[in-house]
Structures are given as structure tokens and as C-alpha cells.
Amino acid sequence: MFVDTLAFQQVTLLIAAVMVCYVGVAAALAMRRNDAAGVRSALRSGAIPLGSVGAIATLIAIWGEIAWPLPGSYNILFTDVYMLFGVTLVVLAVSMAATARLQFAGLFALVAGGVTIAYGWAGYGLNMTKDPLETFLLYGAFGLAGILAFPTTLFVDHYLAHPESTIFAAKTASTHSRPAFAGASRAVQPVVPGVPYASDAPTPTVASKFRVPIYINAALIVFLVMMALAALAALLYLNTTVPAHLAYAP
């Protein structure tokens, strides 16, 4: 029996891409404020919706792998990568909820992203769908986002492990307003028992401004842009699928 779940599957792709973008932006803004608690809060808050989408996608993919509802090789092209998509979201959501290291979920996404691009390229070369180019762009966008997720999770893990690390902070600057002549100043200063000389007082410093390094900012921005492009690709692909999905129900 043919059951058309493709439109709903594309909806889950769109929801997941938008959610990852939103969580990523919230975490990046908190990181720029050196707010480690804010980063963890953004990750934990996004775990439930992302995990829900991932669980639904995984269940649909398992059913599709068993039932083969689509005619011909569409089952392999669509269901295999959809399974990877669902499991990746589940692994990521569990890591976010447990505040565990994200790099292992990022490594999973890296491999899944490479496989997704390979499937998309093969489907495009074999002309396996009615919209081979759009399908390849969809697979390519999500695949690249998965690949870029690995370095992004590495940076987030490093920040959460060392939020006050000097790698993220500018150098402190001393507030020397004029040269200190200790000998001359001591000669004219009154000697009061128990009161230290002015020259012996600690030199005040200006608090350093927290700055995320450029290469980390660039990695976060590139990842978020790619996720936004993946969401756009899912939206455009959904726009071509929904009319046929509604007009020609099985």
C-alpha cells in the first residue's frame, strides 16, 4: 500500500532546521556575553523539541525501511537518509539535555552529513526523482550543515569547559597614568606608622573585555548560515510537494 508521508517528512526537516538555528543563535549570543549558564540553558531548552522531532522521524524511517511504501528505489533514496536525520537529532537532543559533550553528536552528524551528500549526488546523477536538482540541493544543504556541526560542537565544548579561559579574553591593561619614581616620592611622603607608601599600593587594572576569537565566531556564523539555507531548501522543496500531496491523496 502506498502511503504518502513525504510532505510530512519535509515538514520535520524544516522544523528541525529552524529549531537548530534558534538554539544556535541563543547559544552564540550567550557565549559572546561569557554566560556559560545561558549557553547550557539554551541547549537544555531546545533538547525536548529537537528530540521529539528526531523520535518522530526515526519511527517513520523505521516503518519506511520495513514497509517500503514508496514505489521503486525512492524508498532507499529517501528513507535511508531520513533515518540518519532522525537518529542524529535524537543523539544531539540527549547530549543537550544531559549537558554532555556535544562533539560526539557532532561527529555523528559529520558522518551522516557525508552520507547524505553522497545519496543526494547519486540520486541526482541517476535522475531518481522528478526534481533531481532540488533534491540534491536539499540533501547537500543538510549534509554540509551536518559536516559543519562537528567543529561547531568542538568549540562549544571547549567554551563550556573553560568559560574564563585566556583564549577567549583580551589581555588586561594596567592603569599607569605617569611614571612612578619610588625614591623621590618616598622622600617627600609623610611617614605614618601602619600606612603603606602610595608606591607600594597594588597597581589597578582595567577589567578585560570578553571576546570570542574570530575563528570561532566565523565557524558559528557559517554553521548557522548553512542551517538557514537548509531550512530554506526544505521550505522550497515542501512548496513543490504540498500541492500534489493534497490534490492527489492515496
Per-residue 3-state assignment (H helix, E strand, C coil) for 138-196 = HHHHHHHHHHHHHHHHHHHHHHHHCCCCHHHECCCEECCCCCCCHHHHHHHCCCCCCCC
Give a yes or no: residue 48 inside a domain: yes
Query: Within a domain: residue 176?
Result: no
Instruction: For residue 151, name the pLDDT band (cuts at 50, 70, 90).
Output: very high
Residue 96 counted as domain residue? yes
The answer as to whether 175 is a domain residue is: no
pTM above 0.85, yes or no: no
Report the b/e string of 103-133 with b at 16+ CB within 10 A. Answer: bebbebbbebbebbbebbeebbeeebbeeee
The whole-number pLDDT of residue 153 equals 96
pLDDT digits (tens, 9 = 90+) for 35-82: 999 999 999 999 999 999 999 999 999 999 998 887 777 888 999 999
Domain assignment present for 187: no
CATH of the domain at 33: 1.25.40
Residue 155 lies in domain = 6-168+210-247
Residue 12 within a domain: yes
> Looking at the domain assignment, is residue 163 inside a domain?
yes
Within a domain: 195: no
How many domains does the chain contain in total?
1
